[in-house]
A = this chain, B = another copy of it.
């Protein structure tokens, strides 16, 4: 047992994992390029309360030990991977949920799973909209740490749009409350937005006050099949002309659909050029909307349009979309992009994905949240072949530059993590990185919060 594990065990008892084989399970998130650490190389604390977090961060500051806050390990960027010699501070067991249906807020612990909060809200006729593809697994703490987006953003926005206030433990153990519980409140600076999306580099969220909205109708779904990726993008453009914004506009190119079908039978077609999944949950009008979307998609060139008029059928299609990440993982090693461009430039970005892949002789998939201009292309490589790895690295970089040229960003919703640190510096520029480092230093003067990730 390392001195850190022993020291924390003295303070926290069974909150500290002492079995290396159990600890090993906390070593990495869903970053495909994550390093593999043994359970002896780091210390895992499974906090059950704010006090456990305070104790851990106080110890970490006293002993200058780096801390990686960790939720459900669904990040694709390495933001939540253990650091050798460091502490993994897991909040997965902090799962309290308190719903106030009059104020339409939920006060939750960071370990609450996204879909569990949705279910609790629905019992009160309310919805918590933010909806990452990993919603059945990912936790609110991680959602806040990355400002998670997902599938509903085209209509409902991102996590930041729902965080009214936070309780955060800073390195050293000070507890800060940000924001408010009331519908309005402007007393002092609101630090909430600074912590949302900060990827564990400033402190550890121990409670979130989340705004909720009235529950919409159960979403109905259109599945539109296109002969080519170009016609698929014409379908996306046609949806932007609709007065009633869909609650979901998901793009899957042919290879993405094939990967899902290889993973399981979710009702997707084979051999298409591209597929759009489009939903409406508008109260009293979902059916009317999906039929309007279906007509627009047909006019845009869809060769097959199916309207899932009941929830079971709609859920199955969405389930298929949600398994895309494991389905692509099963296909082989890959780099996962998260570029986001202005929606008007999305067609050009999609063209670039396959142009870049062709240029480097790689296979690629292109999928994402077409309503937001946010794509998750993947470049596949052979990890036994250094030339193939290098080609995929170059393709990743090429596509980031293509996104920048279109007015976009290296990361729409996944965050920077370990993966995108070099691109972050280039995107922000030297002066802004320097300024952001001074912001980090204000909260984390010792530089022990998730070092090397995000603003590094």
Please give the residue numbers on chain A whose beta carbons come within 8 Å of chain B beta carbons, in ascending order. 100, 102-103, 125, 146-147, 149, 153-154, 158, 160-161, 174, 176-177, 180-194, 196-198, 214, 240, 243-245, 283-285, 340-344, 369, 371-374, 407-416, 420, 424, 427-428, 431-433, 435-436, 438-440, 442, 454-455
Contacts and interface: CB of A to CB of B under 8 A. Distances in A.
Most chain B CB within a 10 A radius of its CB, from A180, A187, A438, A440: A187
A411 B187 contact: yes
A161 B158 contact: no
A341 B184 CA distance: 8
Contacts of A190: 147, 160, 193-194, 196-197
A158 B184 contact: yes
B184 A374 contact: yes
Given A190-B194, A243-B283, A413 B344 contact: no
A425 B452 CA distance: 36
B186 A415 contact: yes
Given A184-B149, A240-B102, A343-B102, A439 B189 contact: yes
Contact of A186 (B174, B191, B412): B412
A57 B390 CA distance: 48
Given A147-B186, A243-B283, 5 more contacts: A147-B190, A176-B435, A183-B412, A187-B428, A188-B432
Contacts of A433: 188
Contacts of A428: 187-188
Contacts of A454: 188
